[in-house]
Structure 1
Amino acid sequence: MSASVIDFVATEARFGAHNYEPIGVVLARGEGVWVWDTEGNRYLDCLSAYSAVSQGHCHPKILAAMVEQAHRLTLTSRAFHNDQLALFYEEVAALTGSHKVLPMNSGAEAVESAIKSVRKWGYEVKGVPDGQAEIIVCANNFHGRTLGIVGFSTDPETRAHFGPFAPGFKIIPFGDAAALRDAITPNTVAFLVEPIQGEAGVIIPPPGYFTEVRELCTANNVMLVLDEIQTGLGRTGKLLAEQHEGIEADVTLLGKALSGGFYPVSAVLSNNEVLGTLRPGQHGSTFGGNPLACAVARAAMRVLVEEGMIDNAARQGARFLNGLKDIRANTIREIRGRGLMLAVELHPEAGRARRYCEALQAKGILAKDTHEHTIRIAPPLVITSDQVDWALERLATTLTQDLS
């Protein structure tokens, strides 16, 4: 690293909490699938800020919407109406087929809001005894980092020394419909699950799993809550990942790509029953649904559809997945993916995935390791065939190296 890069990193280390371990690059600019560091080196972004920059860095139409709205009105709080919120509601509902929308800021806020809402529905509509509501979740889940959420995480690093935690959650294996059937009781109000477990290493459930999950939730009057904060809005080659099995969730959580990386925007999408239980003063957010957020999200959704990014994710994802599977390397244990949500799991003896991410950085690709031995690959949905092939050449060269 150059002296200037070392200075940036050292200053971060001196003043910042050490709750991240970034790859050693200091980024200064982005456009489309590319980012540039402070030294002018160019990289293909294969993380997309954990899918938040799905529309590509600094998309000009989203930028224009943000600048225009910032000149007009940025924040009113929900104490007053604004001229962007109703339009955001209308457009996100039309896009997703939802009936009710609750706007929030971060993905974790959306998850917390959903937990509150399904519990309230359970008490007031389903008739669960007060204080007895149960929510079923999956092992190796990642729904955020708030205290309520880490309480039902199975990752020791996430949980250690943050307790005590709130009760009311049951943990079952992911992808096991029989385990869900056995876990449901009359007090179960919801099953909260990711369609694909991203942080766990892009873990895809077996075919038919969500069809059976949907049937079980319907039969037992349990709300199916799909956390599509990473998988939603085109990442898997469909608007929502639930569409791969032709089901509909009762509650859907969106975030990340909902703003194209410009601003924190999330939303809880639901049928009337769940969000219909909320009354004035019972839940809210000063910034949730603010006019700047709504204008940005409207533009982000519009370009996603108008520019064919979802179809492109399906095409380029298939090309990328097939290309990864063609790499013959002793380091590779498994290749997984759906759309442009991909993972390369390495054999443990190949060494830490982080070493391979650092080697990829030297070749002009930025990717991120997870769970010690897995490299996640999730470029912006605007990636082209030539760029996929360019990345595959460098991945093949890197993965055939022994970095153990």
Structure 2
Amino acid sequence: MIEFVALPAMNLSAHPLWLVGFRPFFSLAFLSGLSLPVLWALMFAGVLAPPAASFSPTQWHAHEMFFGFGWAVMGGFLLTATKNWVQIRGYHGPILMTLVAAWLFERVGMACGGAWPPALFWFSNTVFLGSIVALLLWTLVRYRKQDSFRDNYFFLLVLPAFVAAKVLMLDPAHFHTGVTVALGLFRVAFLVMLERTLTQFMKGAFQVDLLRHPMLDNPIKLLALSLVFLDAMPKAMAGALLVTLAFLLAARIALWKPHLAMRRLELAIMYLGQIAIVAQLLTEFVALHRAPAWVGSVSVHLFTFGVIGLIVPAMLIRISKGHTGRKVVFDAGDRLVLWIMIAAFVVRIVLPQLAPAAYTAWIGLSAAGWFACFAILGWRYIPFLLQPRVDGKVH
């Protein structure tokens, strides 16, 4: 007689992938980073038909880069960082699995181009962002007394506003405002993150203390927060705030010892990202007063390529190594992907101004740069995210 031996059921939620927020969401960031820009380049060149949608291909592209790729990065970072800020275990297991399923559900809904019944489409488009924002806010509010950072109230203001930006971006009548709001919100998040991380990185690399003073740091963040509402401001007020923030940021960059940072590519690229914020603010100021002479949406892509594109790969490398118990050292492969993104930035922003007739080719080449960068990162680091920590710690 054959005897069947019952094997213990595998607890999928205990797999390393579901132990900390950065593991599944950085995996999604690698995959979306290599695919979404390529899909857009193929659509722009007429090779791939865009979804038959109630919104334009440009709306799809902007939404997917901000709320697909961008929020895979942001979600993974904040789910991991907030638990460390307030010293708790953090969301894991079934909650993370549900959030990932909601993120994937949103991508399917966007790929269908809004052809679903309106109620289903809007559910697919808000369930992920609404859920993760609610969870992050709950963490910051419930454990506020043990929060390591007093200025996390910026996240209490910024995170709910992302939902409004998403809704505006999918409305053809308010698309430009939605992009402006989303970009402004990401700008605030990056400025807060850079304040906290660069001081640590420069201290560790060069044993120097970067200037941190509330009289400089707080106005920078408050100005950035106010510029989320740039589209609703009178022209004179908007121009004054843009120039003031650009000046304060440029002054702080000059005080933050850039001559040292430029010796190390992994630090230099974060300074280049800050310089891109300054450049983006100044291009917005110019656009307020006269029709831009440049080719393409330079202001938006100064941020998406110059800030998100340059800073995010270095951030993903640091967290994927450090939070899996590995030593955070940028090897030749890591430096290669950073150089690829710098090249993609030049191709997307600079070359179209020099040879505008080849604009479609520059979009294709810059998308190829994103593909190469995130394909290499995914190939190298997704295995780290699927494995237990090498230092023996659980999470």
- Normalization by structure 1: what TM-score? 0.23
